[in-house]
A and B are shown apart, each in its own frame.
Chain A
Amino acid sequence: MEAPRLPQSDHDAVESWSAVDDAALIAGMRRGLEAAIVEFVDRYTPMLIGIARRRGLRGGNLITAVMDFLDSAAMRLAVEASRVPDPLPPWLVVSFRHRLRDDWRAERRRQARELLIATDIGRGTQRVVAESCSEYAIRLTEGTDGPDPTEGAATWQVLREALAIALDKGVSEGERQLLGYLADRMPQREIADILGITHGNARVRILRLRARLVQLARAHVNSLPVADGITLARFLERPPRRTVRDAEHARLPDHGPARAQSRQSARNPDDAGDRGSTHD
């Protein structure tokens, strides 16, 4: 059987390219033939539009997503000397789905960032760090409510602020955003949803963030003069006191750690009243 003659140039009609297979089409694109590129776009745009539509994109967003993808995919196919993906349609489907997912995640992150700025959660870094870091960081917020009588209020207020600044310097923009959500006591599932990641992934990020904050706090303590370091270390190592906010949460008819803590307190009434006033 005689092989069909492949179009040789742009002077050949665009229609003649519709008969060639994907490998020949890409070979044409690699020679910079405009007609081959027209056929490539014409051949696969409807399929990509279908995928984008089922992902919920509409109107201008849909066309932009498809064109952006075609721009990178076609250029990659036309420029790189690598092997042509065979077969091409599944490769396009996988690549486009990945691209849509990345775009969706980026959009959610952008929205979350805007929301963060709009609600000004990130302004009070000390509060964010203190409320989300860990139990001992919660202690840091209590300074203004009731300073520890055994320590000079002014001293540990300064130490607290210095620690908060050190922690703030050590976290990235993304981690600060995550701290904002934790400060808002947002469930992990919601955080995962906003960041466009899985629940497990969000959990791991939070665990890593906690570990990082602990590491930063340790480094900060070690960098202080001995006396201040000891004061801060002692402060951080003390068992947490219950704050007014914790007590309010314990009263709320809600599931979660606060309620569990209130149940625990009910079982151990001695412990419940003791936590707030225990000093070293």
Chain B
Amino acid sequence: MTNQPDRDDAGRVDSFGERQADTLLRIAAERAFDQLDPSDPRNASFFAWYAREARERQTPAERRATKELARVFAARMVRRWQVEALGVREGDGEPRIQRAPVAATIRNAVELATPKAKAPCVDMAVAAGAGRALWDEECTEWVDVPADLPPGKHLALRVSGESMTPFLHDGDTVLVKIGTELKPGSVVVARRPDDGYVVKRVGQLRRRSVELVSLNPEYEPILLPRDPRLLLGTVVLRWCTHAAPG
């Protein structure tokens, strides 16, 4: 569009300039917007155009307000998404880690800690060594289990790797409810026979296998046989020390 005003044959500036035309266009668009049927596929391109126009026509102040609104909204929604889509709660601050009162294998530590509303804590990078079951690892730390969690046996794991970013980062701690329940969309800890333990989201459930997907698209989904012995449990809570981006 040119910034030069239109002129008639006599060289006079046409009073019906671009700004007025824009106003008329907006009025016509709004009228059309209210009259057009959104469910008609022929009008789809109009509504896409209208959405773009509405965004571009914002004043700088409106644009700033929308950005701020979007930022606040997104931060709140991510927390809700974790609970509703993944079924994982956010832990308060950092996990309260303490030294285990007795040295025991994880198998025994779970039994000892559960009545005291605590869970053994273990580093996945250490525990996930190929060939060894997690249950035989020595456990030296316990964490407090929040009182408002449903009862059950829990195990805290310190995550290593970036396959579940942005939900889980290297060094985050997750609380796993020990069990063999598999729910699509939930986050589980499973044992890969060759690689040790992994934290993944449950994808498709098939009769003989289960698809485990990473939230980070750079990691390929993996298929595991549907064997309860390979499943450690479901992640119910995470402690994330990373600052929320944005």
- Enumerate chain A interface residues (CB-CB to B < 8 A): 8-11, 14, 29-35, 37-47, 49-51, 54, 63, 67, 70-71, 74-75, 78-79, 81, 87, 89-91, 93-94
* Contact present for A32 and B34 (CB under 8 Å): no
In the docked arrangement, what's the CA distance between A129 and B75, Å? 53
A32:B55 contact, CB within 8 angstroms: no
Q: Are B81 and A32 in contact (CB under 8 A)?
A: yes
Q: Answer whether A37 and B73 are a contact pair too, CB < 8 Å, given A9-B216, A43-B55.
A: yes
Is B147 an interface residue when CB atoms closer than 8 A count as contact?
A: no
The smallest C-beta distance from B111 to any residue of chain A, in angstroms, reads 35
Given contacts A35-B245, A90-B39, contact A9 B48 (CB under 8 A): no
The one of A31, A39, A46, A81 in contact with B215, judged by C-beta atoms closer than 8 angstroms, is: A31
Q: In the assembled complex, how far is the CB of residue A67 from the closest CB belonging to chain B, in whole angstroms?
A: 7
A/B interface sample: 5 pairs, CB < 8 A: A38-B70, A41-B73, A42-B55, A46-B55, A47-B51
B38 and A94 contacting across the interface, CB-CB below 8 Å: yes
Which residue of the partner chain, among B44, B54, B62, B166, contacts A47 with CB atoms under 8 Å? B54
CB distance from A20 to the nearest CB of B (A): 13
Contact of A32 with B78 in the complex, beta carbons under 8 Å:
yes
Q: A79 CA to B85 CA in the complex, in Å?
A: 5
Asked if B54 and A46 make an inter-chain contact with CB atoms under 8 angstroms apart, the answer reads yes
Known: A41-B74, A63-B69. 10 other contacts (CB 8 A): A8-B218, A32-B215, A38-B70, A41-B73, A42-B66, A43-B51, A46-B58, A54-B34, A89-B48, A93-B38
Query: Which residues of B are interface residues toward A (Cβ below 8 A)?
Result: 30, 33-34, 38-39, 43-44, 47-48, 50-51, 54-55, 57-58, 62, 66-67, 69-71, 73-75, 77-78, 80-82, 84-86, 165-167, 184-185, 215-218, 244-246
The CA-CA distance from A75 to B84 in the complex, in Å, is 9
Residues of chain A within 8 A of B246, CB atoms compared? 10, 14, 34-35, 38
Cβ contacts under 8 Å, B73 to chain A: 37-38, 41, 67, 70-71, 74
Do residues A46 and B165 form an inter-chain contact, with CB atoms below 8 A? Answer: no
Nearest 8 pairs of A and B residues by beta carbon: A90-B38, A41-B70, A37-B74, A46-B54, A89-B47, A10-B245, A47-B54, A87-B44
Q: Say whether B77 contacts A45, CB under 8 Å.
A: no
Q: Is the interface of B mostly helix, strand, loop or mixed?
A: helix
Partner of A89, one of B39, B50, B69, B70: B50
Q: How far is the CB of B22 from chain A (nearest CB, A)?
A: 15
With contacts A11-B245, A42-B70 known, is A94 near B166, CB below 8 A?
A: no
Q: Are A78 and B81 in contact, CB atoms less than 8 angstroms apart?
A: yes
Nearest Cβ on chain A to B170's Cβ, whole angstroms: 13
- Inter-chain contact B81/A93, CB cutoff 8 Å: no
List of B residues within 8 angstroms of A49 by Cβ: 54
CA distance A41 to B70 in the complex (A): 5
* Nearest B residue to A41, CB-CB: B70
Q: How far is the CB of B235 from chain A (nearest CB, A)?
A: 14
Interface centre among B33, B34, B70, B80 (most CB of A within 10 A): B70
The answer to whether A34 touches B74, judged by C-beta atoms less than 8 angstroms apart, is yes
Q: Is A75 a contact of B69 with CB atoms below 8 Å? A: no
Chain A residue at minimum C-beta to C-beta distance from B184 = A81
Q: Which residue of A lies closest to B43 (CB)?
A: A90
- Whether A89 lies near B51 (C-beta < 8 A) is yes
Q: Judging by beta carbons under 8 Å apart, are A54 and B30 in contact?
A: yes
Residues of B within 8 A of A89 (CB): 38, 44, 47-48, 50-51
| Max count, chain A CB within 10 A of own CB: residue among B44, B77, B244 | B77
CA distance A79 to B185 in the complex (A): 9
A42, B74: Cα distance in complex, Å: 10
Chain B residues, Cβ within 8 Å of A8: 216-218
Q: In the bound complex, what is the Cα–Cα distance between A45 and B70 (angstroms)?
A: 9
**Closest residue on chain B to residue A76 by CB atoms:** B84
A78's contact among B54, B77, B217, B218, by CB below 8 Å, is which?
B77
Q: What's the least CB distance linking B95 to chain A, in Å?
A: 21
Instruction: Tell me whether A93 and B47 are in contact (CB under 8 A).
Output: yes
> Is A46's CB under 8 angstroms from B62's CB?
yes
Q: Which residues of the other chain, A, contact B66 by a CB distance below 8 angstroms?
A: 41-42, 45-46
Report Cα–Cα, A51/B70, bound state, in Å. Answer: 18
Cβ-defined contact, B30 with A37, below 8 A:
no
Quote the shortest CB–CB distance from B221 to chain A (angstroms): 13
Cβ contact within 8 Å between B217 and A32: no
CA distance A56 to B215 in the complex (A): 42
Q: B40: nearest residue on chain A (CB-CB)?
A: A90
Residue of B nearest to A27 (CB): B217
> A32 to B70, Cβ gap below 8 A?
no
Once bound together, how far apart are the Cα atoms of A33 and B47, in whole Å?
26
Instruction: Quote the shortest CB–CB distance from A83 to chain B (angstroms).
Output: 15
User: Given A45-B66, A89-B47, A90-B43: A38 and B71 within 8 A (CB)?
Assistant: yes
Q: Is the CB of A79 within 8 A of B81?
A: yes
